[in-house]
A and B are shown apart, each in its own frame.
Chain A
């Protein structure tokens, strides 16, 4: 399977705990995006990487959230001191960029904070 993969698919944690999610993009894709999706809403942009450089972050991304893409391949999204409001689906997407860019999404990680 050469699509975008995410791990874990589901995560249940207690409030205040830290969680880390992993995304493996399509291998030749240099762009990587993280989104958050809550019930009844569309994906909401969180952050964007061009290779290993994090070039854009949403104003909605609190300082409890941090993302890395250390070698320009896989990426991790960490949430520290989780809150119940962090419960959502976290989606990763990758692309080659370009004027007519197509993002390929992974299946997402569903987070539930109790």
Chain B
């Protein structure tokens, strides 16, 4: 059973515009959420995270929003740059604190 879902396999955005990547989860016991970026032939790279006690976390061009009631989080990238083109995974930490559940990824293409 997929506890973390990314329903959009791909997204294309013009350079300079906002990219919004979405993620839904099913387990209300998840307490910490992360976004990773992955380039081909590399492992995932940490991007930004948010604790379940917050609803927003911002780091430069990247902002993560958490809506606990909807069990939904989103990653906003603004302005988008061609170098942002990659696969983005959201992940959630389970209640034991030792397991992380990943979504299936969204491939972002930023068009120059």
Instruction: List A residues at the B interface (Cβ < 8 Å).
Output: 4, 33, 35, 40-45, 48, 50, 55-56, 58, 91, 93, 99-108
Contact with A along B13-54 (1 / 0, CB 8 A): 000000000000000000010101000011111100101000
Q: Is the CB of B102 within 8 A of A101?
A: no
Q: Is the CB of A101 within 8 A of B96?
A: no
Candidate in A40, A43, A55, A93 with the most chain B CB atoms within 10 angstroms: A43
Question: If A43-B89, A100-B32, A101-B93 touch, does A33 touch B100 (CB 8 Å cutoff)?
Answer: yes
Question: If A100-B49, A108-B43 touch, does A45 touch B100 (CB 8 Å cutoff)?
Answer: yes
* B38 and chain A: residue at smallest CB distance: A105
Instruction: List B residues at the A interface (Cβ < 8 Å).
Output: 4, 6, 9, 32, 34, 36, 41-46, 49, 51, 89, 91, 93, 96, 98-105
Give CA–CA (A44, B1) in the complex, Å. 12
Q: Is the CB of A42 within 8 A of B43?
A: no
Q: Is the CB of B43 within 8 A of A91?
A: yes
Which residues of A lie under 8 Å from residue B34 when comparing CB positions?
Answer: 102-103
- Besides the contacts A41-B104, A42-B104, A42-B105, what 6 more A-B pairs have beta carbons closer than 8 Å? A40-B9, A44-B102, A56-B96, A99-B32, A105-B43, A105-B45
Q: Is the CB of A56 within 8 A of B46?
A: no
* B36 and chain A: residue at smallest CB distance: A105
Q: Looking at the assembled complex, report how far the CB atom of B50 sits from the nearest CB atom of chain A, in whole angstroms.
A: 9
Question: If A100-B32, A101-B32 touch, does A43 touch B98 (CB 8 Å cutoff)?
Answer: no
